[in-house]
Structure 1
Amino acid sequence: MLKTDSNEKFVFLHVTKTAGGTLKRSLKDSPLEVHFIYGKADKEALVGKDLSAVDIFYGHMPYGVHSQWGNIENPRYFCFMRHPTARTISHYFHLRNVDKSATGDRIRKSYDINDFFQNSDHWEFRNFMTGSVSGLGRNIVNDSRNSLDIAKENLDKNFAFVGFQEYFSFSMRKLSKILDVQLNVERDVNVGRYDLSQVSEDTLGVIEENTKLDFELYKYALEKFL
């Protein structure tokens, strides 16, 4: 267990398609006590429980999740980020090629990525990183400057670390130092396979328009944490 106050916990926000799967495997192989959260039931099960033995909580969840549990006074958040355009394209292909839920089924109804972004929409492709870090999740408004300000404030006050998919090895070395444990840096988990040449300029324009806040947050995090 990490040598921290019992009320000081690390909470990892797994932002989809930012190398979180690789980090997950590294944490599983580490001596740290990691509680993996896989859904709403797992989050609700932690309410009122003794969490003193846990070092890190890990899962697809937005900032502020600790307040639901009511027993963590000093959360230290961390996450990985990725260039918003690359993250969105990778997320699209992941849902199209892998996801077996209704979301994946709906995306597969489109002929290709260009057809989808020209004629359809999905909330996870609209400033998803800002929604995660601000804690607003899918309730984020696409052009809301307030949500970006909230996300930046959260980074300033409660994030111990932000890593970057593009600088993964370097980020993992920094995280290893923060956690005081050696994390492996292999990068072969959940690697997307797709041809970027099929993405049209018009589609890139739509994606860039839908991720304006994410791009500003990404730049802000790079300056602060890289």
Structure 2
Amino acid sequence: MTDSEIPSTIIYLHIPKTAGSTLHAIHNQLYSPNQLMHLKGDPHIDTAVAQFKQLDTATKQSIQLLTGHIEYGMHNWLPQPATYFTILRDPVERVLSYYYFILRTPIHPRHEEMTQHNTSIADFALHILGHNNQTRFVAGTWLEDIPCTEETLSLAKQHIEQDFALVGLSEQFDTTLLLLKHHFNWPRLPYYHSRNVTQNRPSREQVDDETLAIIHETQAYDLALYNFAQKRFEETVRQLGFPFWLVRVQHRLAQRAQPNLEKIRRVSVRHWLRQQWRKREATR
């Protein structure tokens, strides 16, 4: 295979609590195991990234989609061209979701610490959750734990402008999926349901003003990056116009209908099996 025949690689930066688990399940249906590489780390991904860098050239060239809690810069370790995408989430919603997810997940590395110390949302935002992680992921400064600055935010925006096919939004997940399908020529979108969703948590309207102010302070650059990405996202949708609007409507209807179709299929199979069993019993 010549260099010109080697397809470019898609790199998905999976920022925690931004609908990545649902998207990963979709990726597993779209790509075969030899095309997809999902780097894992619990709780840190440094080892997996180091191992990836040492892979042979042929293995790296076979990767069509590289995913994981990885930051910008992974393309430097690929022999072929690459393009990025990621999904951002409203920083306030992300903090709240992450906080209650840890409290309700006993296997999470920070669960015991937070429950024993009765950690508040404010303390979580100040001392446990990294400040402006979304910005640092996109800027490529997350693994080194470099503090976020105006320069970091500018770098993240520059990376988005130059190297990202799309920055989706968790709050518009269905539209994000359709844009990804459009950009990457995915043949289909399998039926999906949301995974790893934090259940029964208070809304932002139920959080006191002091706590919200602390979240805004600790995630100020993430808020700026989210607003930047949101404007780009809305402009992309606007430029695609009425045909894309129709696609969105069709997709929404298909998603709503799929659970009922699955029920019908299961009932039909049970009915057929019951009929076959009765025929078999009747011939005895």
What band does the TM-score fall into relative to the shorter chain? Answer: 0.7 to 0.9
Structure with bigger helix share is 2
1:65 alignment partner in structure 2: 74
Contact 2:22 2:194 in 1 (8 A): yes
Q: Which moved more, 1:100-109 or 1:187-196?
A: 100-109
1:35 alignment partner in structure 2: 37
2:248 alignment partner in structure 1: none
In the TM superposition, residue 34 of structure 1 has moved relative to its aligned partner by: 1.4
1:130 alignment partner in structure 2: 135
1:56 aligns with 2:62: no
Gaps of 5+ in 2: 235-284
In 2: Cα distance, 1:174 partner to 1:76 partner: 15
1:204 to 199, 212, 216: 212
1:213 alignment partner in structure 2: 221
1:149 to 145, 154, 178: 154
TM (norm. structure 1) is: 0.86
In 2: Cα distance, 1:172 partner to 1:115 partner: 33
Q: Which moved more, 1:174-183 or 1:103-112?
A: 103-112
In 2: Cα distance, 1:208 partner to 1:73 partner: 39
> Residues 108-151 of structure 1, C-alpha deviation per residue, up to 9 Å, x if partnerless?
23325346348x61243x11100111111162324x10110111
2:113 to 102, 106, 114: 106
Q: Evaluate the alpha carbon distance shift between residue 83 and residue 27 of structure 1 in structure 2; reply closer, same or farther with a 3 A threshold.
A: same
Q: Which amino acid aligns with 2:135?
A: T
1:16 alignment partner in structure 2: 16
> Residues 149-196 of structure 1, C-alpha deviation per residue, up to 9 Å, x if partnerless?
111011111111111111111110110112211223633201101331
1:44 aligns with 2:50: yes
Contact 1:113 1:199 in 2 (8 A): no
In 1: Cα distance, 2:115 partner to 2:123 partner: 9
2:242 alignment partner in structure 1: none
In 1: Cα distance, 2:38 partner to 2:110 partner: 23
In the TM superposition, residue 205 of structure 1 has moved relative to its aligned partner by: 1.2
Count of matched residue positions in the alignment of Structure 1 and Structure 2: 218
Which protein has the larger Cα radius of gyration, Structure 1 or Structure 2? 2
SS in 2 for 1:12: strand
SS in 2 for 1:130: helix
Q: Which moved more, 1:158-167 or 1:186-195?
A: 186-195
| Runs of 4 or more consecutive aligned structure 1 residues displaced over 4 Å after TM superposition | none
1:170 to 175, 197, 206: 175
TM (norm. structure 2) is: 0.70
Q: Evaluate the alpha carbon distance shift between residue 98 and residue 219 of structure 1 in structure 2; reply closer, same or farther with a 3 A threshold.
A: same
1:97 to 82, 85, 104: 104
1:87 to 67, 78, 94: 94
In 2: Cα distance, 1:115 partner to 1:11 partner: 33
Q: Cα RMSD (Å) of the superposition?
A: 2.3
